Amino acid sequence: MTSPTRSDVEQAHQALTNQELTIGLVSVSDRASGGVYEDKGIPALTDWLGQAITTPYRIETRLIPDERAEIERTLVELVDVARCHLVLTTGGTGPARRDVTPEATLAIGTREMPGFGEQMRQISLRFVPTAILSRQTAVIRETVDHAALVMNLPGQPKSIKETLEGLKDDAGKVLVGGIFAAVPYCIDLIGGPYIETNPAVSKTFRPKSALRPPAA
């Protein structure tokens, strides 16, 4: 087997750069999906992403009930068919019997990413002791030619923002880092498009060797 040439590497790099960033948003709620009340999870995620991400992207949304089989089917479809690079779920992560989002997420993942859930709980514990009851997790789902990061988020808009963005003091100094700061580099590592963010909302961390010049 011959080693890849510089041209091969450049072409592969260009292919990744040209990928359209696709993000799946899944709100898991019996009552919202049944029309009992208006879903607030997807609008909160859409608004936050619009402020945080400066790279062009496309969104796929799904509003589904707390049914494990339906959650699994939806996550698989978003990654394998819709070709999402990042999937964010909201709702269904507590200890109640109908809260099965983490189980469904782990079932469709090929590798677990427990650090995301650990940091989410650290952020939420700044506000409520019941944060230890949350079971949010994250996984990588890989197919032959595609991979995506799938993460569970809280159900409340305020908690979604705090979890993604982190906590800052009145002067803007970061007190607790938000989980989204690590997301773009994770997407890099699994072969997804290069994501740039607004540092005033979420400052992405990448090692110097992974940085690219700002997009024109």
pLDDT computed for residue 18 by the predictor: 65
Q: Model-level pTM?
A: 0.90
- The pLDDT tens digits of the residues spanning 128-149 come to 999 999 999 999 999 999 999 9
pLDDT computed for residue 215 by the predictor: 64
For 15-210, which CATH superfamily applies?
MoaB/Mog-like domain (3.40.980.10)
Instruction: Write down the domain spans for the chain.
Output: 15-210
Q: Name the more confident of 32 and 55.
A: 55
- The pLDDT tens digits of the residues spanning 52-79 come to 999 999 999 999 999 999 999 999 999 9
153 DSSP β-pair partners: 90
Task: Report percent pLDDT > 90 for the chain.
Answer: 78
pLDDT computed for residue 107 by the predictor: 98
- The pLDDT tens digits of the residues spanning 142-176 come to 999 999 999 999 999 999 999 999 988 888 788 88
Q: Name the more confident of 10 and 156.
A: 156
Mean pLDDT of the chain: 91
- The pLDDT tens digits of the residues spanning 180-212 come to 999 999 999 999 999 999 999 999 999 999 999
Across residues 95-106, what is the average pLDDT?
A: 97
116 Rama class: left (phi>0) / alpha (psi -120 to 50) / beta: alpha
Question: Is a pLDDT exceeding 70 seen at residue 48?
Answer: yes
Kindly report the three-state secondary structure assignment for every residue of 102-137.
Answer: HHHHHHHCCEECHHHHHHHHHHHCCCCHHHHHCCCC
Cα-based angle 132, 133, 138 (whole degrees, multiple of 5)? 85
